[in-house]
Amino acid sequence: MIENLVTIKQVSAHTGARVTIGAWVHGKRSSGKIAFLQLRDGSGYIQGVVAKNDVSEETWEAAGKLTQESSLYVSGTVKEEPRSASGYELLVDGIEIIQATQEYPITPKEHGVDFLMDHRHLWLRAPKQRAILTIRAEIKRAVNEYFDTNGFTQVDPPILTPTSAEGTTNLFHTKYFDEDAYLTQSGQLYMEAAAMALGKVYSFGPTFRAEKSKTRRHLIEFWMIEPEMAFVDLEQSLRIQEAFVSHVVQSVVSNCRPELETLGRDISKLEAIQAPFPRITYDEAIDFLNKNGFEVPWGEDFGAPHETAIAQEYDRPVFITHYPASIKSFYMKPDPNRPEVVLCADMIAPEGYGEIIGGSQRIDDPELMAQRFEEHNLPLDAYQWYMDLRKYGTVPHSGFGLGLERTVAWICGLEHVRETIAFPRTLYRLYP
């Protein structure tokens, strides 16, 4: 191996010096006496300039053999170049080809999305995909930063579970030796137990839904951030949600400007994402929709077109609160003044990205919880531990779940969630 390789991101610290970089050829242009190599190494991009008259014959020949996605060690002098995007270029004087790649399948011409998805393992190398994965990593960092600096402890709920958390229709079944088991749809119920032990907790991990939905917002495997907070009511939870989401968006704006530019994202739209966020009740949303060309009877859930119509009224995410109990999960606390609605809120992202957060205050009364188990036909024995949380020192508490991929899609301005994760699991795709 070559010692002291410099990454492209580090070249600014080596202006005027000779460095060696491990790289791939992203593209190449040449004009008789000079070759321009578009080089990438994962950390960034730089142009390598090979001048026939200034390099050995061997180096010039090597430059001629380089094809798209060839791998190499390239040596040269770092020069400031204000006209290039990175601000630097490399005056190449040495090339050691690791592999001269033949017929890289993804060429600069247009490919269909199925072809690209079949080659996802290579497509990840494209500048746009690199930008998305970089922003995803920044979002994850900012999520952890927000909770770790605001009194939350990160707790990891199990992925293999004996019961369902969010309804039984979309569970992935597996065997746990002789028992039946399911992949988790949400860590929430376990996070409620953790909140009773640690006060404020959050989880950050993969969740699974065997949903037969083929929409631009659904993945089969997706990542969720699930905070759960003791002694916090719905209103306090909404204030935490808006502060949290603003922090995440502003962190990306501050730390990922080049990546947002690569994606052509309108950054001014992201800069507007500042707490507080507007709130409307489910009833107000129904009124609004029925005045704007929809026909939605009270008691029906909203679909993507409804959410988009509501979101279009605002330049930042909007909370829709107090949905009918009949269309929400069994654990949501009824509004004491109006028990047919629950103390819940969905956060709808702007620009048509739909629901990014679902959350609620939880039922803390043991009798009401027992009643809900009966109404929803849930097996009490399997949830005995969950009932215990209401039996031994129950307290008001609230929580919510943010979908990571929908958040990445919104912040990056992407059409579809399939590009927000390295290897998406969708209805018809398990490969690669």
Question: Which of 130, 306, 372, 406 contacts ligand 4AD by CB under 6 A?
Answer: 406
Sequence-ordered list of residues with C-beta below 8 angstroms from that of 406, at least 6 positions apart, any chain: 217, 349, 353, 354, 355, 356, 417, 420
SS (H, E, C) 258-305: HHHHHCCCCHHHHHCCCCCCCEEEHHHHHHHHHHCCCCCCCCCCCCHH
Contact criterion met (CB below 8 Å) for 53 and 101: no
User: What is the smallest separation between the CB atom of 407 and Mg ion, expressed in angstroms?
Assistant: 14
Per-residue contact track with Mg ion, 299 to 338, x per CB under 5 A? ----------------------------------------
| Angstrom distance (rounded) from CA 216 to CA 23 | 34
The entry of ligand 4AD, Mg ion, none near residue 48 (CB within 5 to 8 angstroms by kind) is none
User: What is the smallest separation between the CB atom of 70 and ligand 4AD, expressed in angstroms?
Assistant: 37
Which residue, among 126, 205, 208, has the nearest Cα to 419 in the 3D structure?
126
The entry of Mg ion, ligand 4AD, none near residue 357 (CB within 5 to 8 angstroms by kind) is ligand 4AD
Q: How many CA atoms lie within 13 A of 336 on its CB side?
A: 7
Stretch that binds ligand 4AD, among 81-89, 128-136, 214-222, 302-310 (CB under 6 A): 214-222
**Closest-approach residue to Mg ion (CB):** 358
Structure tokens belonging to residue 85: 């995007």
Nearer to ligand 4AD, 219 or 343 (CB): 219
User: What is the smallest separation between the CB atom of 83 and Mg ion, expressed in angstroms?
Assistant: 49
Of 50-109, binders to ligand 4AD (CB under 6 A) are: none
Per-residue contact track with ligand 4AD, 158 to 197, x per CB under 6 A? -------xx-------------------x-x---------
Of 335-364, binders to Mg ion (CB under 5 A) are: 358
Q: At 151, give phi and psi (nearest 5°).
A: 85, 15
Lateral strand order in the sheet of 172-176: 160-161, 179-183, 172-176
Count of residues that bind ligand 4AD according to CB under 6 A: 23
Per-residue contact track with ligand 4AD, 217 to 246, x per CB under 6 A? -xx--x-x-x--------------------
Which residue, among 319, 318, 286, has the nearest Cα to 301 in the 3D structure?
286
User: What is the smallest separation between the CB atom of 346 and Mg ion, expressed in angstroms?
Assistant: 6
How many CB atoms are closer than 10 A to CB 44?
17
The entry of ligand 4AD, Mg ion, none near residue 344 (CB within 5 to 8 angstroms by kind) is none
Nearer to ligand 4AD, 394 or 426 (CB): 426
Query: At residue 295, what is the residue type?
Result: E
Nearer to Mg ion, 22 or 358 (CB): 358
Rg of the chain in Å (alpha carbons): 26
Nearer to Mg ion, 229 or 344 (CB): 344
294 CA to centre of own chain: 31
| Angstrom distance (rounded) from CA 357 to CA 237 | 12
| Angstrom distance (rounded) from CA 181 to CA 173 | 6
Q: Does 401 bind Mg ion (CB under 5 A)?
A: no
315 CA to centre of own chain: 21
| Angstrom distance (rounded) from CA 377 to CA 309 | 35
Of 327-346, binders to ligand 4AD (CB under 6 A) are: none
The entry of Mg ion, ligand 4AD, none near residue 401 (CB within 5 to 8 angstroms by kind) is ligand 4AD
Q: Which residues bind ligand 4AD (CB under 6 A)?
A: 165-166, 186, 188, 209, 211, 218-219, 222, 224, 226, 355-359, 399-401, 403, 405-406, 417
Q: Which residues bind Mg ion (CB under 5 A)?
A: 358
